[in-house]
């Protein structure tokens, strides 16, 4: 009889312990204990999309340059500028391990901006060549490039938003408390230096 009571008591203690643990887990979750790592992963995911879209643009450029060269070989200076800008842009890599490096992020942004400028100048040049503008391969590249520029704009905007949410969380209560106690190894993150115009409108790449 005594053994049965002991087992019954242990069973009740286990049930109560489990209930308390579940209650604490619910309370802690409600207090935002998981927000910082969640937002951290969202920043990394958003950055991966930025990289993907810039890489997609870089992959389109060699075919674009070759197509333009076939109709406008005399525009060698402009073509060379695009090639060099692409090489510089693709040489600067910012991944999850360097995303917190403000200087590296700035270099990446500047290199991509220079490539955008070089592409814009190439588009202006293309206006001088009606045969080029009617070439089917050129038209297909134009469509792909325009779509990619739009996706870059969306990806950049999503990244900016994700970083702002993450930084706000670790600067404000209760996130600031959880950051100091559990996530002190996660720093404030640098962001793109984007104006409202930069964030909302893709560069003009129409031919």
> Tens digit of pLDDT for each residue in 38-96?
999 999 999 999 999 999 999 999 999 999 999 998 899 999 999 999 999 999 999 88
Count of domains forming the chain: 2
Please check whether residues 109 and 14 belong to one and the same domain. no
Question: Is a pLDDT exceeding 50 seen at residue 195?
Answer: no
Residue for token pair 């009571």: 5
Using CA atoms, how far apart are residues 112 and 90, in angstroms rounded to an integer?
A: 9
Please check whether residues 16 and 96 belong to one and the same domain. no
203 neighbors 116 (Cβ within 8 angstroms): yes
Question: Is a pLDDT exceeding 50 seen at residue 203?
Answer: no
Q: Structural domain of residue 111, as residue ranges?
A: 34-200
Cα separation of the two ends of the chain: 91
Please check whether residues 150 and 73 belong to one and the same domain. yes
Average pLDDT over residues 197-204: 44
In the prediction, which pLDDT does 136 show?
A: 94
In the prediction, which pLDDT does 98 show?
A: 87
Task: Read off the CATH number of the domain in which 101 is found.
Answer: 1.20.1440.20
Average pLDDT over residues 172-195: 87
Please check whether residues 11 and 43 belong to one and the same domain. no
Using CA atoms, how far apart are residues 119 and 100, in angstroms rounded to an integer?
A: 29
Please check whether residues 39 and 112 belong to one and the same domain. yes
Inside any domain, residue 206: no
pTM: 0.80
Inside any domain, residue 156: yes
Using CA atoms, how far apart are residues 171 and 39, in angstroms rounded to an integer?
A: 13
Please check whether residues 8 and 38 belong to one and the same domain. no
Inside any domain, residue 111: yes
Mean pLDDT, the chain, rounded, equals 84
Inside any domain, residue 207: no
Please check whether residues 41 and 14 belong to one and the same domain. no
DSSP annotation string for 57-99:
HHHHHHHHHHHHHHH-TT-HHHHHHHHHHHHHHHH----TTTT
Using CA atoms, how far apart are residues 169 and 150, in angstroms rounded to an integer?
A: 29
Please check whether residues 40 and 17 belong to one and the same domain. no
Average pLDDT over residues 135-142: 94
Please check whether residues 159 and 126 belong to one and the same domain. yes
């Amino acid at each position: 009889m005594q053994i049965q009571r002991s087992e019954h008591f242990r069973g009740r203690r286990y049930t109560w312990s489990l209930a308390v643990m579940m209650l604490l887990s619910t309370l802690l979750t409600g207090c935002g204990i998981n927000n910082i790592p969640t937002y951290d992963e969202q920043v990394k995911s958003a950055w991966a999309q930025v990289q993907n879209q810039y890489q997609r643009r870089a992959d389109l450029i060699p075919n674009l340059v070759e197509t333009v060269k076939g109709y406008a070989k005399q525009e060698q200076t402009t073509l060379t500028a695009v090639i060099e800008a692409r090489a510089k842009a693709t040489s600067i890599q910012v991944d999850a391990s360097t995303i917190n490096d403000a200087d590296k992020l700035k270099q990446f942004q500047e290199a991509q901006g220079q490539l955008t400028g070089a592409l814009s100048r190439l588009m202006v040049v293309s206006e001088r060549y009606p045969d080029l503008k009617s070439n089917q391969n050129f038209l297909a590249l134009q469509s792909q490039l325009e779509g990619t520029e739009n996706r870059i704009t969306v990806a950049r905007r999503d990244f900016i938003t994700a970083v702002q949410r993450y930084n706000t969380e670790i600067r404000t209560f209760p996130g600031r408390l959880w950051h100091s106690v559990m996530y002190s190894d996660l720093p404030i993150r640098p962001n793109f230096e984007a104006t409202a115009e930069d964030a909302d409108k893709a560069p003009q790449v129409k031919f």
